[in-house]
Amino acid sequence: MIRASNYSPAPRLILVKIQKQTASREAEWIRLYSAGRFAELEKAARAVLRLQPNYGFGWKLLGAALHAQGKDGLPAFAKASELLPQDAEAHNNFGTALSQKGEYEQALLAYQRAALAPGYADARANIVRLLADLGCVDEALPHARAWVALQPGLSEAHARLGNLLRASGDAEAAIAEYHRVLELGDHRLGTLNLCAGYVDLGDFSKAIAFGEKAVESAPDMFESHFNYGNALSTFGRVAEAIPCLARAADMKPGEIRLHHSLLFNSNYLPYPDTQQLQDAKRYGALAAARTAPYTGWHARREPEKTLRVGLVSSDFRNHPVGHFLHGVLRALNALADAGLEFHGYSNHRENDAITQEIRAHCRGWRDVRALGDAELAAAVHGDAIDILLDLGGHTKGSRLDMFAWKPAPVQASWLGYFATTGLEAMDYLIADRFTLPPEEDGAYVERIWRLPETRLCFSDPGSDIPVGPLPMLTNGHPTFGCFNNPSKIHDGVVSLWARILHAVPDATLLLKSTLFADAQAMQHLAMRFATHGVAPDRLHFEGPSSRADYLAAYNRIDIALDPFPYTGGTTTAEALWMGVPVLTLAGDRFLARQSEGLLKNAGLADWIARDADDYLAKAVHFARDPGLAALRRDMRAQVLASPVFDATRFAAHLAQALRGMWHQWCA
């Protein structure tokens, strides 16, 4: 099955290519169609078909006339397809009519019959559009290549092929197709796609440049503003990105992915976004309006039954969600009396070692990339899932929209997001008492379920990378470091860290990120520090590396500086495991307290600063603290014994929470 509620066929009229016939009747019909006199054409066709019901050409024209008037042409196109088995155009028209009715599987079959005609490009184009919009990348690629071969001068064909190549992970090949679009003179389509392609490739300088050109070339296309906004955000320029994303959402309010991007990026703002709850509710209303939620489920109201728990994510892999999840799942499965069985719904093509481990801990597993929201909801409902957990929120690749269908009786948001989803169908958000105090419950659509210690339990990397000696003992000066996404380093963070570097004049700052594979990204951040009087030689940048080399890089820093308000989660846990204490700022919202919660659970509450001045004072104090070497030496053992890494302890708390949610539903 390939039905998908979110597929919308391209809004193109079915232009029937009618070969001129010698018969005067058909010539007259051609004239009526060309003149836009569709009602007259309908009347004439009906009159003839009453006398000649097996006249295939008549059914074909009747379907076109009905379609042009906004009427249902499907029965006429079906008849034409039946009577004209060798007419590719008749099958193509039938396929388009079927797709507009949501009959995607039958539409694909009709398009495939049309594609049997050599040289008929329209059928290939429609197959590509349908399969691409349904997420069937591998199936669509050969058809896209065939379309390009048939119409090498058509920019849309190259752009579609490029999009599929991007989705398959081949960014370089995609960019080559997008450049071909530019060569064909289509600057609107070329620039906006090159912007996105270069983001995927990690060439952020070119991404920004093409994003600027896209907005200039196609200011009326929401995709231009959307792609440019995403490039700016990835480049760390979130304050500039937000207006672009907001502009795109205003231009296309029904395009739900724009709301995801805007909501996610608003978390990077250095101040609480007072509109975030309203924006989230606006998204929730939009998602709900597209569904027919389930009101009955296969679940029996038996409080102590074995619970079927569904996990929905695009991040069952080498990703922060994967790193937090796989050890917890192992521990949950080891709890003999928990009565839980897990079912994974994976929305990503990657299949690495972490994917394999997570899958091994699941009773059921589905690759759901090709499923639309309605179809995925039907699969979850059919699997009789009792509790469905969303692990993505508004992050890239999540299937949050599907939760609006309410396919499980209990639904909760956990792990991969840190604000309200905005969905009324989401029953709970799982937090803890450190990160989300009760007085903030009003900022969430969901009910808050608090775990007694931490909401995050990191999986022991299990690597043989040792904790090295304190670097300052060898270097003769302290080294601060931050391995967080540079998008978190807004001007307020730069200003405070610059104050630290001035207060500790021999210190350096090591910044490591995949973004720093791009020279312009490094220069841009260095210039921002320079405005505060920090010389370039005080900053050191490192780009991407293997996970082992990434973890080993912590052996080159003495103290990790946490950005704010978007604090570290994965980076904080990794730093602690490598013996590096993390200095964080006490936050004013859930997201801003991620590190605070981890540090309190790890027994390092004295590394939490009250305000910016306290952050500065602590940085200066700890940089000269003779006890820092001993702390580093003992920290791995300390944190491994804490709730931050104790998967067995955490699993018991999470199992209790899931059972408690179930009890409430049963009651």
For residue 135, tell me if it sits in a domain: no
Where is the domain boundary, 265, 290, 315?
Answer: 290
Q: What is the pTM of this model?
A: 0.86
pLDDT band at residue 531, thresholds of 50, 70 and 90? very high
**Residue 8 reports pLDDT greater than 50:** no
- Looking at the fold, whether 341 and 447 belong to one and the same domain comes out as yes
Is 15's pLDDT higher than 90? no
The CATH code of the domain that includes 437 is 3.40.50.11380
Answer yes or no: is pLDDT of 20 > 50: no
611 and 488 in one domain? Answer: yes
Whether the pLDDT of residue 22 is over 60: the answer is no
- Give the residue among 31, 41, 82, 98 at the shortest CA–CA distance from 64: 41
What's the pLDDT tens digit per position in 640-654? 999 999 999 999 999
Q: What is the mean pLDDT of the chain?
A: 93
pLDDT of residue 21: 41
Q: Is residue 607 part of a domain?
A: yes
pLDDT of residue 10: 40
Give the mean pLDDT of 377-399: 97
* Beta pairing class for 539-542 and 447-451: unpaired
The torsion angles phi and psi of 522, rounded to 5 degrees, stand at: -65, -45
Statement to judge: residues 329 and 440 lie in one domain: yes
**Same-domain pairing of 480 and 552:** yes
Q: Which residues pair with 447 in a beta bridge?
A: 428
* 299 confidence band (pLDDT: 50, 70, 90): confident
398 and 318 in one domain? yes
Q: What is the mean pLDDT of residues 3-8?
A: 37
Of 390, 416, 451, the last residue of a domain is 451
Does any domain span residue 196? yes
Show the domain range for 253.
Answer: 186-290
**Domain co-membership, 491 together with 516:** yes
CATH number, position 612:
3.40.50.2000
Nearest to 310 by CA among 301, 298, 296: 298
Which of 360, 394, 388, 359 is closest to 376 using CA atoms? 388
* Domain assignment of residue 610, yes or no: yes
DSSP letters, 577-623, are HTT--EEEE--SSTGGGHHHHHHHHTT-GGGEESSHHHHHHHHHHHH
Residue 12's pLDDT is what? 42
> Is 365 found in the same domain as 261?
no
CATH code of the domain covering residue 2: 1.25.40.10
pLDDT in tens, 116-145: 998 999 999 999 999 998 878 899 999 999
pLDDT band at 462 (very low <50, low <70, confident <90, very high): confident
If asked whether residues 486 and 434 sit together in one domain, one would say no
Same domain? 492 vs 635: yes
d(CA 85, CA 116): 11
CA dist., res. 546 & res. 410, Å (int): 39
Q: What is the mean pLDDT of residues 611-636?
A: 97
Q: Is the pLDDT of residue 580 over 90?
A: yes
pLDDT digits (tens, 9 = 90+) for 178-204: 999 999 999 999 999 999 999 998 888
Report yes or no on 371 lying in a domain.
yes
**How far apart (Å, rounded) are the C-alpha atoms in residues 85 and 108?**
16
CA-based torsion, 129, 132, 137, 139: positive or negative: negative
**Most confident segment among 30-34, 162-166, 298-302:** 162-166
Both 569 and 541 in one domain: the answer is yes
Which residues on neighbouring strands pair with residue 410, listed in sequence order?
Answer: 387
Token duo for residue 594: 């991620």
The answer to whether residue 260 sits within a structural domain is yes
* Residues 255 and 337 reside in one and the same domain: no
Please report the DSSP string for 174-213 in residue order.
Answer: HHHHHHHHHHTT-HHHHHHHHHHHHHHHT-HHHHHHHHHH
How much is the pLDDT for 1?
30
Which pLDDT does position 370 carry in this prediction? 82
Could you read off the pLDDT of 314-333 as tens digits, one per residue? 999 999 999 999 999 999 99
125 in any annotated domain: no
**110 and 244 assigned to the same domain:** no
DSSP 8-state class, residue 517: G
Q: How confident is the model at residue 23 (pLDDT cuts 50, 70, 90)?
A: low
DSSP strand pairing (340-346 vs 582-585): unpaired
Is 171 within the bounds of a domain? no
Which residue among 117, 139, 154 closes a domain? 117
Domain count within the chain: 4
